[in-house]
Amino acid sequence: MMTAKSKTIRSENQIMKPSPGLKLLLVFSSMVLMLYKCQAGTTNLHPLILIPGNGGNQLEARLTNEYKPSSLLCNRWYPFQKKKDGWFRLWFDPTVLIAPFTSCFAQRMTLYYDAVSDDYHNAPGVQTRVPHFGSTESLLYLDPRLKHITGYMAPLVESLEKIGYVNDETLFGAPYDFRYGLAPEGHPCHVGSKFLQDLTHLVENASTSNGGKPVILVSHSLGGLFALQLLNRNPPSWRRQFIKHLVALCAPWGGTVDEMLTFASGNTLGVPLVDPLLVRGEQRSSESNLWLMPNPEIFGRKNLLVITPNATYSASDVPRFLDDIGFREGVHPYKTRVLGLMEELVAPGVPITCVVGSGVKTAETLFYGSNSFDEQPEIVYGDGDGTVNMVSLLAHESLWSDMKNQTLKTIRVPGVSHTAMLKDEDALDEIVREISGINSQLSFVENVSVQ
């Protein structure tokens, strides 16, 4: 007969010595838990760098004694709020909505092309700088005091933080002076080239600080063109070592028809109360805007994009178009600098995922009446994301899909516009899902359409 004491001992022995089947189950459960923690933890994440689009980060300015205001209101005292050393936020400044100050803003944002030095520079007496390079801080809101109306990458950053990314550890930002562009070999481009150098160093440092893991680049809009130039201007060995993947959101590979509207008549970009003619000169002066003109190889050399009573213009007629709208000073830099860049749409040999909006009416043909380019045109719309035409968004497929060493994937998000790509829940889900897949090596199915 078994005593109570022997029962207790037997029970203790059963607990201390589980059966072989239970042992196997416990080991398996521990392995699953460890794998889950590894995948969910930040240690498994590749460092990620965000590259914004045109107007997608803050800019600061300071006025020197050389500054000549265009009016009394634009004197050096404006704006009232400045840092102790004189720096103030140039972009975005909400007073741009008030007509007298719109002119001040435009004067201070304007670039000038110097044919002698073959490069662009600021207006005399205006110094500019990009705050918080390396951090996401200046990408979140264009004005932190007006978060609800100037939010940019804040929703995307929040979504990335939810899967474990940490600012300044695994998550970085690459803001830049988006007014400046780049130039082909043989042409100076001080500001744009300096940005690519800084971005190269940021990529290397982000990789080194994360155990040598290669970096995921996530670009929006114009940032995709800079990312492509970064990759192609570094040797293949550098790309293999430091770049894991490029995720390009709404990349205007072949430019936009909307840019021809901007140059001809000015573009308020949906900002209310602003007269487009007050900002047209500043917008024409932007080197990067000139870079975003429609690429003849993508839009075709005979497809008419602008029609007037006296002339028609295709993408191959941009020099004549610039002359006819009264911007003759843009013809030379377009011919010598921009066309060379348009010819450099070369596959970089690193995996690329392009996330594009579709089904949003996008300017396809501009019809001007007899009252010159000072009036807004009648517009025929086509497919795109509201800013970039579909033929440009999908140019990577027509250019690179047959390349043996180039892996491509396209994700279409119907009904999502160029700016909504960074805010729309469905779009953010797709972007984060893709980045999670890249981190776990499970990302590639060549073409995806979100319903």
Range 305-312, long-range pairs (CB < 8 A, 24+ positions): 305/257, 305/260, 305/364, 305/365, 305/366, 306/260, 306/264, 306/365, 306/366, 306/368, 306/377, 307/365, 307/366, 307/367, 307/368, 308/367, 308/368, 308/369, 309/368, 309/369, 309/370
190 is catalytic: no
Instruction: Round to whole Å and give the CA distance between 94 and 146.
Output: 9
DSSP run (H or E) holding 356: strand 352-358
Instruction: List, in sequence order, every residue forming a beta bridge with 353; answer none if it has no partner.
Output: 247, 409
Residue among 226, 318, 275 nearest 106 (CA): 275
Given 103, 138, 159, 221, the catalytic residue: 221
DSSP alpha helices (H): ranges in 151-275? 154-162, 190-208, 222-232, 236-242, 258-265
Nearest to 140 by CA among 124, 151, 126, 131: 151
Give catalytic status of residue 221 as yes or no.
yes
DSSP state of 75: S
Catalytic residue among 265, 418, 424, 443: 418
Dihedral of alpha carbons 375, 380, 384, 388, sign? negative
Task: Please choose, from the candidates 299, 269, 297, the residue with its C-alpha nearest in 3D space to the C-alpha of residue 283.
Answer: 269
Cβ-based neighbour number of residue 271 at 10 Å: 14
Residue 396 annotated among the catalytic residues of the structure? no
**Which entry of 93, 119, 258, 385 is annotated as an active-site residue?**
385
Distance CA 19, CA 221 (A): 60
Instruction: Report H helices in 215-316.
Output: 222-232, 236-242, 258-265, 276-285, 287-291, 296-299
Which residues carry out catalysis? Answer: 221, 385, 418
